[in-house]
Chains A and B, each alone.
Chain A
Amino acid sequence: MSTANSRFGVPHEGGVPHSDDGVPDPGEMGGIPRVGPGPAPRPPLTHALRDALLAALVAAGLFIPLVGLRTDVGPGGGGLMIRTRWGDVAILVGIVFAARLLLNLWSNFRPAPAPRSAQRTALMGRVGTAVAPALLALAIALPFLPGTTRYGLDLGILVLTYVMLGWGLNIVVGLAGLLDLGYVAFYAVGAYSYALLSTTFDLSFWICLPLAGILAAFWGVLLGFPVLRLRGDYLAIVTLAFGEIIRVVLLNWVSLTGGPNGISGIPRPTFFGLSFSAGGGPGSFADFFGLEPSPTHRVVFLYYLILGLALLTNWVTLRLRRQPLGRAWEALREDEIACRALGINVTNTKLSAFAIGAMFGGFAGAFFATRQAFISPESFTFIESAIILAIVVLGGLGSQLGVAIAALVMIGGFEAFRDLEEYRMLVFGGAMVAIMVWRPRGLVSSRTPSVSLGARKAISAELVGQGR
């Protein structure tokens, strides 16, 4: 045996390092009391005080320039005047100090956190399988639930649009691992494709919808080609630029897109040729079914339309995950070099992920255009891409259920806090920090195998190594 190897003198190779198949953690077996991860035998109070003081110091450093100094226009409009607000700074620093102290004391005296056992993972899995059907049932029943208002339905449509966008982006980012910061570009391509096709050629929604998807997929491939060699941050920057290019082109190509004025008078969708006109009349939906004409019909129809589109996205994604193509996407996310070594055509795999993800973005864009009847480049700014990406990341990369919940919480929660006005951004930021602290890999971070023998087991992401 050479010297190089005797260094790695691990005598035992077969041990199961993790409680993957119900084998308890070694710490649980030996009857050894588990030591909590908190600070060990220092005097707790002094340590907590010192730590809180340090936090207060950092807070003071931040708040003195941010809050303490304020510039106002001087009297008579001449020059700037500095106004100081030391009282506010003192209150803020005091809050930070007290909160940090309480947090320290609490973490010293709380019981040591229980280890994450296989049982708990299994329980989470069971809860997960119950949540998805419950959410689906709620989504289907929503328009008929008593107490659902027009506003509630509109919000439902908005949430479902983002669920669909999240699921579409999940193919690119969650499955194939290609960080795309310009997803809104495909949303815009879909919306403008629908708007232009329907207003110029007078085509119906149902013909324009697939065309919008195909055009968006085409742009997805077009973006894919130049960025094939890029990964991670570099890919993110280029896709970000792509999103902006599309928006700027839409803004400046006035003869085609109307520039900043946008496109208005986009035809509404019809139900097998029956229109949803508010006044009823022959050939309308209400007339055909003998209903009282009501503007709610159209909203309910739009709601089911986006629900159907979103479920189509979900179904296609779930199907593809079990096909070789979906498995190749996931393998690509895990290790591109290994994929090449196994003879996987990385080019085609990446392009297909971009194309299919973009196609669903295009569908969602067409829906957006027909719902709003008016689109302009303002709707397709970078913040939209950021929100969709945040939904995917917070939900858990690759998890369909997580993305749906994250969209519900982000978009629904954003609306729920509307009364707080600009402070809702604060709530929003706080929620994101909380998720990143307690669930750093997203709400649903486990991955279900795409092939399995017998019972499926979801395995917590904490038990497996990071992709790279």
Chain B
Amino acid sequence: MSPMLRMEGVTAAYGAVEALKGVSVHVNAGEIVTLIGANGAGKSTLLMTIFGAPRARQGRITFEGRDITSLPMHEIARAGIAQSPEGRRIFPRMTVRENLLMGAQALGVDPAPGLEQAFTLFPRLKEREAQRGGTLSGGEQQMLAIARALMSKPRLLLLDEPSLGLAPLVVRQIFSAIRRLNAETGLTVLLVEQNANQALRLAHRGYVLVTGRITLEGTGAALLARPEVRDAYLGTH
């Protein structure tokens, strides 16, 4: 079976600064794959490159067999990939409901089933439905960002640091929601995380990114057991 998403030898740069130096990553349908690495390793860049900002300078990105390397951004979303960007980026002056509708409208998807799914997955959002996005707590905003991304009924969800700045309890809630989504709906997830411990426990497979290069890959459990991963990212020594 060919993978759902495949990046082959992808190079990306901001001006003269190379952030990705020939990265090859693949995600199979139905998997949760995590990408861990230190600050500035290029994790977010990798995720954003799938979405075309920045564009890959070299290499190829295919999604479900289709070359999306130079597709316009809104076309990439239309192909079935959704993204919960770094820092959540909800619309602060719009209500929770309006935020969610924005997730569905660009692709012309009927919002009703998405809203139902969002409120089942995160009942907190139902309570806050008429409230402004900017008045939500950090955890609620993260839930909203994920729910908004799911509104377009994507087959692949890109999640950029959902645990950023959140309390441990909330991180656990969000990770368990991701697990449920994957198990119940078969949603494929590519998760970028600094919280290596929890991310590797959640994921089927993982990649370690160091200064723009993939240095390790393997199953979540295997990576957790690797001494170099433990030293560098888990702080257990």
Interface residues of A (CB under 8 A from B): 1-6, 8-11, 13-18, 20-21, 324, 327-328, 330-331, 334-335, 337-346, 447, 449-453, 457, 459, 461, 463-467
Contacts and interface: CB of A to CB of B under 8 A. Distances in A.
B152 A334 contact: no
Contacts of A457: 130
Nearest to B148: A342
B210 interface: no
Contacts of A339: 102
A20 B74 contact: no
Interface string B164-208: 011111110000000000000000000000111110000000000
Contact of A464 (B92, B130, B138, B235): B92
B74 A345 contact: yes
A128 B62 CA distance: 53
A340 B73 contact: yes
B97 interface: yes
B106 A328 contact: yes
Main secondary structure of the interface of A (DSSP, over half): loop
A270 to B, nearest CB: 43
Interface string B81-118: 01111000111111101100111011100000000000
Contact of A1 (B76, B102, B139, B168): B168
B155 interface: no
26 contacts: A2-B234, A5-B171, A8-B167, A10-B167, A14-B124, A14-B137, A17-B135, A21-B130, A324-B105, A330-B91, A330-B94, A334-B91, A335-B91, A337-B89, A340-B53, A340-B74, A341-B77, A341-B84, A343-B73, A344-B74, A346-B74, A451-B97, A453-B97, A453-B130, A457-B130, A464-B92
Contacts of B140: 13
Contact of B102 (A16, A328, A452, A466): A328
Contact of B93 (A3, A4, A330, A345): A330
A259 to B, nearest CB: 44
Contacts of B152: 342-343
Nearest to A11: B167
B26 interface: no
B131 interface: yes
A447 B130 CA distance: 13
Contacts of A16: 135
Contact of B89 (A2, A13, A338): A338
Nearest to A344: B106
Contacts of B167: 5, 8-11, 13
B135 A20 contact: yes
B129 interface: yes
Contacts of B163: 5
Among A5, A334, A340, A343, the most chain B Cβ lie within 10 Å of the Cβ of A343
B3 interface: no
Given A14-B124, A343-B82, A344-B102, 20 more contacts: A2-B235, A3-B235, A6-B168, A8-B165, A9-B167, A13-B139, A13-B167, A13-B169, A13-B170, A341-B83, A341-B85, A342-B103, A342-B152, A343-B73, A343-B152, A449-B94, A450-B98, A451-B98, A459-B132, A465-B134
A450 B89 CA distance: 20
A447 B168 CA distance: 34
